Amino acid sequence: MQKRTGRGEWIYGRRPVGEVFAAGRRQVYELAMAAEDRESIEQTQFHECATKAGAFFRQVTKRELDTISGDGNHQGVAVRVSAFPYISIDEVCAEVRENERVLILILDHLVDPQNLGSLMRTADAAGVQAVIIPENRAAAITPAVVRASAGAAEHMRVAKVVNLVRSLNDLKEAGLWVVGLATGGEGVRNYTEIDFKGRIGIAVGSEGHGLKRLTRETCDFVARLPMEGAVASLNASIAGAICMYEAVRQRNA
């Protein structure tokens, strides 16, 4: 377990810490940096950002940072911050109603922080306006996810919902068309045959299980990625990335 000092949680690694300060969405309580003979330009910038945020600064040993980060790749820096600022499903529905080209990422009970972090990074790069994740039996936006996203998660608007299917229906009533990713089954179409240019939600299933039955039945379309080799499916984060960038390609064509 990570060692916590006081309230909040520790975000670690140079890029994630930099994005915490750049996004400015969390309260920063404390900055911990490994003592060096001379501060680098990056460390000086972190120190200045912490001072501006009114955060406590302390120099620590690398062993202390190992403990803070749970032996993660901290690169000599960590910040203790407030909890991740989730948004409500109502805010996402409002975005759907107002934006004719809205792109939403829906994650159906992913549990691997690496997959979630990778998808968050791609979602930010692809211009996704919001991400929907279930509240239970799924990975949340933890420090490990922020690290895996190279800090991109700090910029993403994420709604954590109790009932995913009910939330999908709310989004559809607001005007969203939901495209689910699956490997096969009835009504599945090649992902390049689907129109991703309007109000679109892309639903990605969990590792090993894919979309749950009710989630799939709630989707307006089900898309597949062609598999020409021996394996039957791609990693969830890769499949989601391909589909998000198909939406980017169509919208920029």
Per-domain boundaries in the chain: 9-81, 89-252
- CB count in 10 Å sphere of residue 21: 22
Beta bridge partners of 130: 104
Sheet holding 221-224, edge to edge: 158-161, 130-134, 103-108, 200-205, 177-181, 221-224, 188-190
Q: Give the type of residue at 191.
A: Y
- pLDDT of 6 reads 60
Superfamily of domain 9-81: Ribosomal protein L30/S12 (3.30.1330.30)
Q: Which residue has the tokens 């810490």?
A: 17
Beta bridge partners of 179: 202, 221
Residue 6, helix vs strand vs coil? coil
List the Cα angle 200/203/209 in 5-degree steps.
165
- pLDDT of 188 reads 87
- pLDDT of 3 reads 41
Best CA proximity match to 167, nearest among 115, 91, 85? 91
Least confident of 39-53, 82-96, 226-240: 226-240
Asked if CATH classification 3.40.47.10 holds for the domain at 89-252, the reply, yes or no, is no
d(CA 127, CA 162): 25
Q: Which residue has the tokens 């980017």?
A: 248
Report the chain's mean pLDDT, rounded to a whole number. Answer: 91
- pLDDT of 4 reads 42
- pLDDT of 101 reads 95
Question: Does residue 214 surpass a pLDDT of 90?
Answer: yes
DSSP one-letter code for 19: H
Structure tokens at 209: 């299980």
